[in-house]
Amino acid sequence: MRKVFKIAVLSLFGLTLPAANADENAIRESMAKSMPTVKIDSVKPSVVKGFYEVIVGTNIFYVSDDGKYLLQGRLVDVAARKDLTEEKLSGTRKQAIEKIGQENMIVFKPKIGKYTVTVFTDIDCGYCRKLHSEIDQYLAQGITIQYLFFPRAGKDSDSYNKAVSVWCADDRNAALTAAKKDQKVPAKTCDNPVDEHMQLGADFDVKGTPMIVTEKGNIYPGYLPAKQLVEVLESEKKSEINQ
């Protein structure tokens, strides 16, 4: 995906639109010429005059209304001290996770749920194992943990094959817990969502595991103990109420 956009950025420099003030359809048509394989989800005028906000999956780009320039980066409201790009990105992440669906995740639920987080995990990652070893502490705080697989060694690696075997086990939750303890899980194959999980992780630009995504779509890379995570989630909920 990143390679496609690098090529697209270069090709857009030579692209012109028929009118100075291009509308949404003209932006779509012009961008389609330079990146025909990329699905554009939405094109809207940005808060910056002369630029359109283009959403592609979980990525946001800013394209000049003459179609000549494409910017990839953070748009910050200096006066309000707000990262406007991150606000939009959190929404696209939330939608992408909802699209995967809980039925395609391994979920650990508390008796009384207060919060839900999605965790990209690698079975062989040390801090992923630490997080899972404390799963009862997260559940005690009312945190539902939704696991997505992100074997860092890539497709067909040992970690990848373990993820597939865990998914194909009769009891996925028990198999994941066993695998996290470095216990052998019987090798199995079946239809599984591991590749879909990995693609979503790549779209989210996962650099390491575990990576925690909150219900609001905010990202917290790395391990957070249960008490610290619940503080983060409570703060998010309060800020949402105050908005």
Active site residues: 122, 125, 128, 152
- Identify the bridge partners of residue 221 per DSSP, sorted by sequence position: 211
Cβ-based neighbour number of residue 221 at 10 Å:
15
Q: What would the two tokens of residue 123 be?
A: 């079975």
- Identify the bridge partners of residue 143 per DSSP, sorted by sequence position: 115
Burial status of residue 64 (CB atoms within 10 A of its CB: 0-12, 13-18, 19 or more): middle
Strand spans (E) along 26-99: 42-45, 51-56, 59-64, 70-71, 76-77, 82-83
Q: How far is CA 43 from CA 5, 29, 35, 39, 223, in A?
A: 16, 11, 15, 11, 36
Cβ(161)–Cβ(187) below 8 Å = yes
Cβ(123)–Cβ(166) below 8 Å = yes
